[in-house]
Amino acid sequence: MDLEYLRAHPDKLPMFIEHQRIRSTPVGGGSISVTQRLTLDDGTDVFAKFNEDGPPGLLEAETRGIAWLAEAGAPVPHVLCATAEVLVSDWIDPGAPGVVAAEELGRRLAELHRFGTKTFGAPWPGFIGRLPLDNEVAERSWSGWFASRRLLPYLRDSRDNGSLSAADVAAVEAVITRIEELAPPAEPVARLHGDLWPGNIHWGRDRAWLVDPAAHGGHRETDIALLHLWGGAPHLDRIVAAYHEMWPLPEGWRHRIPLHQLHLLLVHTAMFGSGYRDQVMDAVRQL
C-alpha cells in the first residue's frame, strides 16, 4: 500500500493493518480514538485516527471541521483520505515549542477568527470528544446561543451522571441567568477551532499546528480562553501578544476567561465525571 493506493482505497487500510501488511506504531492521542503512525510501502509516514468505539459520525465531523478551518488558511494537517472508520492525514514530526512558532500561531489564529462565518454553530452535526456538540445554525445573540448550546446540555449531563450536586447545578444556573451581563461585546461571528486547550496544539519542528478541532462559529475569545486551561499553552504570552498585534481582543477579555472555559469544563464533568467538579466550581466562583 503506497500513498496513491491509500488515497484510492482508504477503506482497505484496517485490513492491511490487521494482517500486518503495513507497519504501524501507536502514538499518543486523546481518550476517544486510536491513533497510529503508519509507514507505507513507498516510505511515506502518515497519521491515522481510528473510530473504534466512538459514536457514528465522529470522524466525518472532524474531517469537515478540518476542511472548514483550512478554507480560512488555518495551520491544520492536510487530510489525505477519510472514511467513517479512519481519518488519515500528513505525519508531522514533533518538535519543541518555540517563541517564533508561538508568535506565528497567534497571528494565524487572528486571521482564522477574522475570516469568520455567517452564523453561530456549523452546517454539520458536531462532536466534542465523544459527546454531541449542537451545531445547529442559529441567528440569536452570542449569549443566548452559548447558554443554550454550549453550557446547558453539558450541565444537564453532569447533573444526571452525578458529577455535580444540586447546589453545584444551581450555582452554574445562576451564572447562566447573568450571561448577558457577563458576555463579551458583540462582534462578527468568528471561525473557531472550538476545542483549543493546549493539548490540541501539535508543535512541529518549525511551526505549531491545530489538531482535533470541534470547529464552529462563535466568539473569538473562546479559543483564546481555552488556551489558558490546565497550565496554559507553551509561550502563551507570546501567542496572545502576536494575536493582539493582528487584532486586539475586546477590553476586559481576561475577566471573561472563566465564562468561556466553563463550556469545556462542563464537557469534562459530563464525559469524565466528578474529577473536574472543582474546576467547574472555581470558574463559577470567579464569575
Of 195, 223, 278, 282, which is the active-site residue? 195
Cβ neighbours, 10 Å, residue 187: 15
Q: What is the dihedral of CA 220, 224, 225, 230, to 10 degrees?
A: 150
Residue 34 CB-density burial (10 A; 0-12 exposed, 13-18 middle, 19+ buried): middle
Dihedral sign (CA 276, 278, 284, 287):
negative
Q: For this structure, is 278 an active site residue? A: no
Q: What three-state secondary structure class fits 130? A: coil
> What are the residues whose beta carbons fall under 8 Å from the beta carbon of 137, sequence distance 6 or more?
119, 120, 121, 122, 123
Going from the C-alpha of 5 to that of each of 2, 27, 83, 142, the distances in angstroms are 5, 23, 15, 45
| Alpha carbons 55 and 75: distance in angstroms, whole number | 27
Q: What three-state secondary structure class fits 39? A: strand
Q: What three-state secondary structure class fits 119? A: coil
Angle, helices 152-160/257-272, rounded to nearest 10 degrees:
40
Q: Nearest to residue 110, comparing CAs of 209, 234, 246? A: 246
Q: What is the DSSP letter of 71?
A: H
Question: Residues 119, 121, 125, CA angle at the centre, nearest 5°?
Answer: 135
Catalytic residues: 195
